[in-house]
Amino acid sequence: MSKAAGDPERAINGFMSVAQLLEEPRLARLYTYLLQTGDATIDEIVADLEIPRTTVYSDTGTLVDLGVLERDESQKTHTYTAVPVLLTANLDGAEYTITPTLIEAVGRSSRDQDLALVIEKHGLGKLAAALTYAIPYVDGGMSERVAARELGVQPAFGIAILQALRDVVLDMQEVDPHFEHLRNAREHPPAESHPE
């Protein structure tokens, strides 16, 4: 892949890589696991994530091909390291940034019913919107009831989503090098939010 700044090929390949991570929770989980651990071998991944070895070999190969993992082949036992992603979209003047924190939320959806349900019923966009409310909720700047109302979902469901995303935010705010780029609904409310 070309490394030239502003290279459209590199930009589109990066976009497609992030899109694949957002579409496949298993790949998202492996990617953010490696971001959190720093680096790991196939044996460590198999043991920690309890994924079959053949799946780990296949998925690490896919992520290396996508350019979001690096494989260190300098020793007999190869290690894998995540490359922190940052993708910013500007639609009609509104900007949204995707960082590893959203990818972590997608990765957890395979093990968290509330996150899986929000994606299934409302789509990935609603999960991203919920994340913008989870940040001020975790920081104590917004109550879960206000955030749930602003999301436009049933209060109990909204609160369950925020509680699931609370762990994502707490786990990723120190690990995600681009965390400060995430939209915070308290500072920048989404256009479709309802007035308090």
Residue 48: pLDDT band (50, 70, 90) is very high
Give the pLDDT confidence of 140-150 residue by residue, as tens digits.
Answer: 888 888 888 88
The pLDDT value recorded for residue 196 is 38
Question: Which of 4-18, 62-76, 82-96, 139-153 is the least confident region?
Answer: 4-18
Residue 194 has pLDDT above 50, yes or no: no
| pLDDT tens string 135-184 | 999 998 888 888 888 888 888 999 999 999 999 999 999 999 999 988 87
pLDDT category, 7, cuts 50, 70, 90?
A: confident
Question: Mean per-residue pLDDT for 101-114?
Answer: 95
pLDDT attached to residue 50: 93
Q: Which CATH class is domain 8-82?
A: mainly alpha
Q: Give this prediction's pTM.
A: 0.87
pLDDT band at residue 190, thresholds of 50, 70 and 90? Answer: low
The domain spans of the chain are 8-82, 100-181
Burial letters 39-68, b for 16+ CB under 10 A, else e = ebeeebbbeebebeeeebeebbebbeebeb
pLDDT band at 94 (very low <50, low <70, confident <90, very high): confident
**Mean pLDDT of all residues in the chain?**
88
pLDDT of 6 reads 62
The share of the chain scoring above pLDDT 90, in percent, equals 66
Q: What is the pLDDT of residue 147?
A: 86
